[in-house]
């Protein structure tokens, strides 16, 4: 029976929620696990089950790229291998998850403790997902608990929640097993402060608290870990389809790997069970008196010390680890640098430094040198490099080794010592030694920085090496213990992160001419000879036919490349156009289903508007490129107010920027008081394309700036610079020259992630060049891009700008555009007619309708002379098209036939279409989709 039916049959839903919520707080019953949704029916069903996903370290986590992972996800992925289930993760919170499960929002929930009383609310499988861990927590400043001896817990008081029966039972078992005598103090739910028992520990009402693994966050010391109750993946009671499939899958998992649960726990809680370590009184006194510890290191020795090394992007493993040791202990560290590893080792042996930053050997080697090693702080790999002419392993080999190191017993060779890794590898490359043995990161760096043509890497088995600090014997016990406590307090996850971050080497090769000649003498001779031969051949055989043939082949290659690019463009456009169309169709269908819900209708309308604007932008890009390639773009040279253009740009992109929490700034250096002469429409399009790209590629919280500045003023001419700067993803140096190419984007993932046609910047560059200007770009990956456009304009002397750039323009009220006017709309499409009538009547006009050209003529003939103020004429219509109807109206024998305003309102948006409309007798051309303001502005110009 489903849980919903149980509630319906008499169980008080509110009391159930309250009861289970108390248990989740008191017993830590519900670990906030997130479980992918399972298919409701058979394994082949494509539907996914809904699964709660709160964020909890170790159990349910989400990476920066959106990947779900954790102990629960591992279990569900393994179950899916046997069931074919698909999962839908639904984000929630630990506080809301239980209530939402009871309301039926989820099909599955994880980390649930079993109790017979819960069977009416949860459907349990036969097998658990392993046991959770309980933890005993103490304050960090409680020095009475040393952290390594359970006997320190004797006589302590432990605070617990009084209804956590299972946890209390297991706590008592743990205390009995360890022979500990502790007082357990139980608190009721009414005694909790802010939902927890922390108050009683902080105010010393108790010495310790009982919690679970999720409570080991570092706020308190973990002084003991022990197994607690098992946890389960649950569904609603009675769902046998899911339970049967889950039981089978869990059976297969346990049969094939009985340790699966333990492995999952260790993988996701690698540091669980490590106890919090603190300094004792003697160690704190040592820190107070010692203050500064000196550390010997070879300078610029990747990956250990890389500060000020321009070829590395990190400080070095030793620097990062000692920073943590300093935070833990309060010690300060100063470095004593040496030229080589052997010299740094000798500084420590001579007593001139307290610690060696890293020791490249094992315990036996350190003992022979009277050094004591600390706990390991990282693990690196050793590598063998051989000369290409040498076989390894083999007899009588000579091995190049760094001074201060010892050749391990598994490397059978005679050691020859060198001061640096470069000297070692050069010796092997030149044949002075057969093989070299050393740390892989150091070998890799030298191999990248230098050319060694005769080296070959050899794979080793069990070649990992633990790296530790080294302290001279006899050791100071406090110093060694402080280091070991600090190192043991670093989680394995953090150690791995430090190691990974410092192993990356981004330096470039030092390719000097001497280096190239030295490493490749034969190749240099061959290349030089080939170059001389090539020059001679070119001088002898180049002829007109050869040049012509190459030119033809080049044109063919470019045509093929263009064809491929256009094919890829059409593939992208098919997806890009269908995407907003799908939104429009889908939102329209939803409007029909929720016609009585005004809030939902308003939301759907806004989404339809966004999709429509997106679709129109795509179509405009394609049309612009078509017009440019056919040479049909015409530039206009008219006076315009730069301030008006910039205010329109700012109004548009203020809204777009705010939707992504982006800061948009407009900076104008100087004042443009005279009107400029040029094509303001193309200027607006150039700036719109650049700013649209900036908004698209700038993440939330970023910044975009449009700067305008006059850079040259010469009589009646001026040159103005426009800069668009953003803090977006940037463009790599190898791709920056491609951004202005047609049908191109930086790489394929740009289209899939950000969308677009790849035409915007190509169109922008064409317009800039047509206007006699220049465009350039500078960019850095993950730091943003700057596009700079310089354009020449004329100055309309004596014509002042109507307003300054800083002033805000008054907004026209579309409701009063055509008040009292008589309009005739000629449109064959019923939907378009409905749109036109609805919008125009909203402006206060009287509007008549005609559905083809012949009806328009009849309407005009039947009206009094001078009755119609404006006719909006579609072009393509049945019976009679718009241009034919216009010519017929102009030929009528009545006084208003020649003077009545007729505007083409059509989807034929090319420049040739507009010219044909004007030739037929129309006064203006308005492209669809039309804006009321466009019609009104055209009307004002004609009246």
Residue 657's contacts (CB-CB under 8 Å, 6 or more residues apart) are 663, 664, 695, 704
Query: What is the H or E stretch that residue 342 is in?
Result: helix 341-349
CA distance 844 to 866: 19
Q: What is the pTM assigned to this prediction?
A: 0.44
Q: Across residues 731-742, what is the average pLDDT?
A: 77
Q: What is the pLDDT of residues 822-877, one digit of tens each?
A: 999 999 988 888 888 888 888 889 999 999 999 999 999 999 999 999 999 999 89
What is the predicted pLDDT for the residue at 121? 87
Which pLDDT band holds residue 546 (cuts at 50, 70, 90)?
low
From residue 339, alpha-carbon distances to 118, 305, 421 in Å are 69, 12, 12
What is the predicted pLDDT for the residue at 5? 25
Q: What is the pLDDT of residues 40-51, one digit of tens each?
A: 334 444 579 889
Q: What DSSP string runs through 208-266?
A: EEEEEGGG-SSSSEEEEEEEEEE-EEEB-TT-HHHHHHHHHHHHHHHHH-TTHHHHHHH
Alpha helices in 394-543 (DSSP H): 421-430, 440-449, 477-488, 492-503, 513-519, 521-541
CA distance 724 to 159: 61
**Strand ranges of the sheet holding 846-850, from the earlier edge strand across to the other edge:** 846-850, 822-826, 870-873, 901-906, 924-927
What is the predicted pLDDT for the residue at 168? 86
Q: What DSSP string runs through 618-663?
A: HHHHHHHHHHHHHT------EEE-HHHHHHHHHHHHHHHHHHTT-E
Which pLDDT band holds residue 117 (cuts at 50, 70, 90)?
confident
N-term to C-term CA, the chain: 77
Q: What is the pLDDT of residues 156-190, one digit of tens each?
A: 999 998 877 778 888 998 898 888 899 999 999 88
* Cross-strand pairs, 135: 211, 225
Q: Please provide the average confidence, as pLDDT, over all residues in the chain.
A: 80
Query: What is the H or E stretch that residue 569 is in?
Result: helix 544-593
What is the predicted pLDDT for the residue at 332? 94
Dihedral over Cα of 491, 493, 495, 501: its sign: negative
Interstrand relation of 378-387 and 435-439 (parallel, antiparallel or unpaired): antiparallel
CA distance 514 to 431: 19
From residue 33, alpha-carbon distances to 54, 128, 232, 233 in Å are 6, 14, 10, 9
What is the predicted pLDDT for the residue at 653? 81
Out of 70-74, 144-148, 197-201, 540-544, pick the least confident: 540-544
Q: What is the share, in percent, of the chain residues with pLDDT greater than 90?
A: 30
Q: DSSP state, 275?
A: P
CA distance 11 to 742: 67
Hey, how many other C-beta atoms are within 10 angstroms of the C-beta on 797? 10
φ, ψ for residue 465, nearest 5 deg: -140, 130
What is the predicted pLDDT for the residue at 908? 65
- 528-542, 672-686, 715-729: range with highest mean pLDDT: 715-729
CB 52 within 8 A of CB 107: no
CA distance 439 to 460: 12
Cα 638 from chain centroid? 45
CA distance 240 to 246: 10
CA distance 906 to 919: 15
């Amino acid at each position: 029976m489903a849980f919903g039916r149980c509630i319906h049959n008499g169980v008080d839903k509110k009391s159930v929620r309250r009861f289970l919520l108390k248990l989740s707080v008191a017993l830590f019953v519900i670990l906030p696990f997130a479980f992918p949704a399972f298919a409701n029916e058979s394994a082949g069903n494509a539907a996914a089950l809904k699964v709660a996903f709160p964020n909890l370290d170790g159990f349910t986590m989400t990476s920066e790229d959106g990947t779900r992972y954790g102990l629960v996800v591992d279990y569900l992925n393994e179950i899916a291998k046997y069931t074919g289930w698909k999962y839908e993760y639904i984000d929630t919170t630990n506080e809301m998850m239980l209530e939402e499960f009871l309301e039926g929002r989820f099909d599955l929930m994880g980390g649930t403790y079993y109790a017979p009383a819960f069977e009416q609310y949860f459907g349990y499988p036969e097998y658990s997902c392993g046991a959770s861990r309980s933890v005993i927590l103490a304050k960090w400043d409680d020095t009475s608990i040393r952290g390594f001896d359970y006997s320190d817990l004797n006589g302590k008081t432990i605070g617990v929640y009084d209804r956590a029966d299972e946890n209390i039972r297991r706590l008592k078992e743990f205390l009995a097993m360890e022979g500990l005598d502790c007082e357990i103090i139980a608190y009721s739910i009414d005694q909790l402060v802010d939902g927890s028992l922390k108050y009683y520990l902080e105010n010393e009402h108790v010495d310790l608290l009982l919690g679970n693994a999720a409570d080991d966050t570092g706020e308190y010391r973990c002084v003991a870990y022990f197994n607690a109750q098992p946890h389960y993946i649950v569904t609603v009671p009675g769902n046998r389809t899911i339970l049967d499939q889950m039981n089978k899958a869990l059976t297969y998992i346990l049969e094939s790997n009985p340790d699966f649960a333990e492995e999952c726990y260790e993988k996701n809680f690698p540091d669980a069970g490590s106890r919090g370590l603190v300094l004792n009184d003697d160690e704190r006194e040592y820190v107070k008196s010692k203050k500064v510890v000196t550390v010997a290191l070879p300078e610029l020795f990747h990956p250990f010390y890389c500060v000020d090394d321009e070829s590395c992007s990190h400080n070095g493993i030793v620097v990062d680890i000692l920073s943590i040791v300093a935070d833990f202990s309060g010690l300060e560290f100063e470095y004593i640098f040496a030229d080589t590893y052997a010299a740094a080792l000798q500084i420590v042996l001579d007593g001139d430094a307290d610690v060696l930053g890293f020791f490249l050997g094992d315990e036996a080697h350190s003992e022979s040198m009277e050094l004591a090693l600390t706990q390991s702080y990282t693990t690196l790999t050793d590598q063998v490099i051989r000369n290409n002419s040498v076989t390894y392993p083999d007899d009588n080999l000579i091995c190049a080794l760094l001074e201060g190191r010892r050749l391990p017993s598994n490397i059978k060779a005679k050691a020859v010592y060198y001061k640096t890794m470069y000297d070692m590898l050069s010796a092997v490359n030149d044949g002075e030694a057969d093989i070299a043995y050393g740390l892989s990161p150091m070998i890799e760096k030298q191999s990248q920085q230098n050319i060694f043509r005769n080296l070959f890497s050899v794979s080793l088995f069990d070649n990992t090496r633990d790296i530790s600090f080294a302290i001279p014997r006899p050791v100071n016990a406090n110093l060694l213990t402080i280091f070991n406590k600090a190192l043991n307090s670093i989680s394995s996850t953090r150690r791995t992160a430090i190691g990974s971050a410092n192993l990356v080497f981004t330096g470039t090769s030092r390719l000097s001419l001497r280096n190239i000649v030295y490493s490749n003498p034969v190749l240099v001779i061959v290349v030089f000879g080939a170059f001389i031969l090539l020059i001679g051949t070119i001088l002898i055989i180049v002829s007109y036919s050869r040049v012509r043939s190459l030119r033809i082949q080049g044109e063919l290659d470019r045509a093929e490349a263009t064809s491929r690019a256009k094919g890829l463009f059409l593939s992208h456009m098919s997806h890009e156009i269908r995407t907003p169309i799908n939104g429009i169709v889908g939102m329209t269908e939803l409007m029909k289903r929720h016609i009585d819900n005004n809030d939902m209708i308003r939301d759907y309308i806004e989404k339809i508007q966004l999709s429509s604007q997106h679709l129109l932008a795509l179509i405009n890009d394609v049309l612009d490129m078509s017009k440019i390639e056919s040479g049909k773009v015409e530039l206009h040279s008219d006076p315009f107010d730069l301030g008006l253009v910039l205010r329109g740009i700012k109004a548009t992109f203020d809204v777009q920027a705010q939707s992504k929490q982006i800061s948009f700034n407009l900076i104008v250096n100087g004042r443009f008081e005279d009107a400029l002469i040029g094509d303001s429409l193309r200027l607006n399009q150039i700036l719109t394309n650049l700013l649209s790209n900036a908004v698209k590629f700038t993440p939330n919280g970023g910044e975009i700036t449009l700067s305008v500045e006059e850079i040259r003023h010469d009589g009646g001419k001026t040159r103005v610079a426009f800069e668009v700067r953003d803090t977006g993803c940037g463009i790599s140096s190898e791709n920056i020259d491609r951004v202005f190419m047609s049908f191109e984007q930086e790489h394929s993932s740009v289209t899939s992630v950000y969308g677009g046609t790849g035409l915007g910047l190509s169109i922008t560059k064409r317009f800039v060049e047509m206007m006699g200007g220049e465009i350039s770009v500078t960019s850095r990956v993950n730091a943003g891009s700057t596009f700079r456009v310089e354009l020449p304009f004329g100055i309309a002397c004596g014509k002042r700008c109507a307003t300054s750039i800083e002033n805000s323009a008054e907004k026209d009220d579309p409701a009063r555009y055509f008040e009292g006017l008589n309009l005739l709309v000629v449109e064959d499409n019923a939907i378009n007619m409905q749109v036109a009538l609805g919008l125009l009547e909203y402006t206060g006009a009287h509007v008549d309708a005609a559905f083809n050209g012949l009806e328009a003529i009849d309407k005009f003939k039947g009206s009094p002379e001078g009755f119609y103020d404006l006719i909006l004429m579609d072009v393509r219509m049945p019976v009679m098209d718009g241009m034919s109807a216009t010519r017929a109206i102009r030929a009528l024998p009545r006084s208003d036939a020649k003077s009545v305003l007729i505007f083409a309102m059509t989807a034929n948006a090319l420049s040739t279409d507009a010219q044909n409309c004007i030739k037929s007798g129309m006064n203006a051309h308005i492209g669809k989709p039309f804006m009321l303001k466009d019609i009104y502005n055209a009307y004002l110009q004609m009246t």
